[in-house]
A and B are shown apart, each in its own frame.
Chain A
Amino acid sequence: MTVMNGGMNRPVRTLSVFFLVLFLALMANATYLQFVKAKDLNDDARNRRVVQAAFSRQRGAILAGKTAVAHSVPSKDQFKFQRVYPKSKEYAPVTGYFSYYSQTGIEHSQNQVLSGDDSRLFVRRLIDLVNNTDPKGGNVELTIDPAVQDAAFNGFKALGDGVEGAAVAIEPSTGRILAMVSTPSFDPNEMADHDVTASTKAYERLLKDPAQPLLNRAIQTTLPPGSTFKLVTAAAAMEDLGMTPDSMVDGRASLKLPQTSHVLHNENNIPCGGDQVTLTRALDRSCNVAFAGVGLKLTDAQLRKQAEKFGFGQTYLTDLSGQATSRFPTTLSPPLRAQSAIGQYEVAATPLQMAMVSSGIANHGVVMTPYVVDRITSSDLDVLDQTNPTELSTAVSPRTAGMLTQMMTSVVDQGTGTPARIPGVQVAGKTGTAQSTAERPPYAWFTGFAPADNPKIAVAVLVESSNTSRDEIAGGALGGPIAKAMMEAVINP
């Protein structure tokens, strides 16, 4: 009896320990999978559950002022909610789209908030969990001023079909982006279609379009800034050479560049109004020879340093992905330096960057970091987070900023920038007409701010191509009215 009872019990106990280890391994592995590794697995791009759920969830709204530019409405099909963009094309460069397969723009960068997964929404999620209600996403309030955005969008619309261009407006004292328009644009509603086939088809059509409607030209394309870059050259001249608006510069019609046979001309090959003119007049008339001469007096390091202080070579916009870096070329021979000083050769800038040049001058030399997300609120509108303005850099001294403002005011009053004049308000500005290749029309630029004495808005407008004939393309004529309308939207609401 003893043998029977005692026998085999020891190995059974050993076996039970072995099984305990097996089951603990199962539990540990399940915990690893569902808790430790869960985030990685949820972040996997191929994980359709996350998208499926995001599609079904009541995603938060994106607001410009009091207007929702993207929100979710109940839907009757397999997903519970449909994403709707009431101001489709106008805000598409900012909102981006939210499709079954991907997101762009704010929909992408603020996805955690909009979907409700952000840690700042934790308490809300907990309440939803306890109440057993479907979790709702948080809202994103943009810095965009609908009036400025409308002005820019309608301004491009007035130029007719086939226009490619972009406009950006910044509040100089804070860096708030008041408008961001890119044309041609796309309709994000098409991408948010619950019919995945239709959505994919729309995406592929947009991708193939030679006009690149999916490109946010305000931040994702860099082009030669042309004469608008003379502001940077003038700033460097004042900071590094001690020049003033009254300093005399070369006013002749052409300049033979050193070390080459190349001759640089003023636009239309006319003189600037004398052999020697003031820097102010040179800027008024946007004289290439004068600024090429200034550029030759500066070293390329000085020019590049000045450009970088305005934001060239940097990534500063974190609210939207894909910001292109504006650039000023490294190491230049004198002839190329002369070309670069007037915004040609390999100098390239985004419209946002040129708006920041104006904005920095307007803000007494201090460039603020641009941002487009103002506040994050919960679904019941509690403010969860607010962006605080931060300085990006000090581009010039307040004195230089004042002198540049004075010169830019003169440009709008009596120079190339007259189309941007606003009655009763002093406007500062600078036009640009950048040459590209002979086959395609030049780019028309305008950048400026207003009111000159108490700047509320700085803008940059780029018109890449339009139906306007080549002769008529001048920064002032094409970009000026759009810039004016945007500035008026803030000054005379």
Chain B
Amino acid sequence: MSAQTWAREFVHRRRRGAELFLLILSLVVGIGGYAAVGLGVDQQVPAGIVGYGGWLAALIIGAHVVVRMVAPYADPVLLPLVAMLNGLGLAVIHRLDLAAGATQNDGYARQQLIWMTIGVILFAITLVSLRDHRIMQRFTYTCGLGAVVLLLLPMLPGIGKSVNGARIWIHVGSMSFQPGEVAKVLLVITFAGYLVLHRDALALAGRRIAGIDLPRGRDLGPILAMWLISLAILVRQSDLGSSLLFFGLFVIMLYIATERRGWIVVGGGLFLGGALVASRFIPHVTARVDIWLHPFDHYQTATGPHSDQLVESMFGMAWGGLLGRGFGNGSPYRISFANSDFIMGAIGEELGLTTVLAVILCYGLIVERGLRTAIICRDDFGKLLAVGLAASFALQVFVVIGGVTRLIPLTGLTTPFLSYGGSSLVANWVIVALLLRVSDHARRPLPDFSFDPGEATTQMVRLPS
């Protein structure tokens, strides 16, 4: 009972005031960034700054109020980090809008603000309707089925569409949507639910080879299935990023659940093998690897794969240097899709290495808060869920920023919260809501009498009235 004793001794404070203070700082970044874009590009504070700032502030304060009401013990740092990144992303997208000749009312930033609104609304709905994350465990297989269906949707003729070589979009009417982003959340729930049930079987049996506990052959079934699904996504949809993300997530969660490094060895081996074969035999992947190794050989070439996007981004980041050129003084519009996959290139050029490091640090903090939540979480499902969500962030950030800065081959993934893209933004707001829900549970003091902590809190609030 030592753990329970420890939990009694250390009682987490709510820290909602700290969260509000940090949120105000994040608003300074968001609204200040927006004003700086206007000053840098048009030499004046944008006319719509009050409306824009008001909207952003309303969203963020609204999110804070929801957290205060329904998840009072939730981690106080996560929401401000996310709000800061979202605000910064909006400012950078607005800057790129201005370069493309769009105005305040018809640019991507406007669209992104609407997506953010939807995201925050879903964030609130998730927190309000999902009072206990363990309920999700009941829907393990439903979520799994949903994820598979979503992943298969882009393959359907009629609504599926290939964009820039990757078939990961669905189009219904004028709406376009990347189902992979939602599938990511569902998969984490599925993995967590599945592993909670089967962790003992997966963990205990096996044989020891060269100091590493390798799993039994028959337990390899799920990981092999996941590997095949990832490969299928890679081959059929040419979506290198999602494939890596899903497989990586699964291996990590498997390792956490079983505490056996053998899974990492098996998973890593499978991944390396798959990657090697893919880089040899899948033209789309071969081109990506070639561009990664020799970007300058493919810059502005007449034929063959182009590295223009990557090289322009590298030129831009180098040009930005330590402090950046300042909003309006760089040429981030030289990078194609600077507002989505390559937004880090735009940030590096105009805001400099300083901001790039700050942004990476913010992502690192989000991951750290997620893992911290996992460590203090009292139930296995919550633990695995928090680890999975944090890991999805970490992997996605590493894959996309690593790709843009040529640390690893480029893959098509959005930069969470920064990139333009509705599906990604909305899905990530829901992920944060789930993380906050788990952390609220984990940080909440253990009730002395009631078995259900959620019920207990509710009753205590209601009693005085």
Contact = CB atoms under 8 A, between A and B. Distances in A.
A196 interface: no
Interface stretch (A25-33, A63-71, A201-209): A25-33
B360 A4 contact: no
A4 B1 CA distance: 11
Contacts of A469: none
Interface in B296-316: 296, 299-300, 311, 314-316
A53 B350 CA distance: 13
Nearest to B380: A4
Nearest to B2: A2
Interface string A15-43: 11001101101110111011101111110
A15 B391 contact: yes
B244 to A, nearest CB: 13
Interface centre among A6, A11, A40 (most CB of B within 10 A): A11
Interface in B389-430: 390-391, 394, 397-398, 401-402, 405-407
Interface residues of B, number: 60
Given A7-B380, A30-B317, A35-B353, A15 B371 contact: yes
Nearest to B356: A30
B407 A35 contact: no
B378 A5 contact: yes
**Interface size band for A:** 35 or more
A48 interface: yes
Nearest to B326: A132
B3 A30 contact: no
B30 interface: no
B364 interface: yes
A1 B390 CA distance: 24
Interface string A125-153: 00001000000000000000000000000
Contacts of B330: 49
Nearest to A44: B315
Contacts of A26: 360, 397-398, 401-402, 405, 407
B252 interface: yes
A1 B300 CA distance: 62
Given A4-B380, A50-B319, A12 B256 contact: yes
Given A8-B259, A12-B387, A49 B375 contact: no
Given A8-B259, A22-B394, A41-B315, A1 B401 contact: no
A440 interface: no
A31 B357 contact: yes
B37 to A, nearest CB: 15
Contact of B321 (A1, A5, A29, A34): A34
A33 B405 contact: yes
A22 B407 CA distance: 11
A53 B334 CA distance: 13
A41 B310 CA distance: 13
Nearest to B319: A49
Contacts of B4: 1, 5
Contacts of B117: none
Count chain A CB atoms within 10 A of each CB in B318, B349, B357, B402 and give the residue with the most.
B318
A52 interface: yes
Contacts of A6: 3
B291 to A, nearest CB: 15
A44 B297 CA distance: 13
A34 B353 contact: yes
B262 interface: no
9 contacts: A5-B4, A8-B384, A12-B375, A19-B391, A23-B363, A26-B401, A33-B318, A35-B321, A49-B319
Interface of A: 1-2, 4-13, 15-16, 19-20, 22-23, 25-27, 29-31, 33-35, 37-42, 44, 46-50, 52-53, 129
- Shortest Cβ-Cβ A-B pairs, 9 listed: A41-B318, A5-B3, A34-B353, A38-B318, A29-B407, A23-B364, A19-B394, A49-B319, A22-B398
Given A27-B357, A33-B318, 5 more contacts: A8-B380, A26-B398, A31-B353, A49-B334, A50-B319
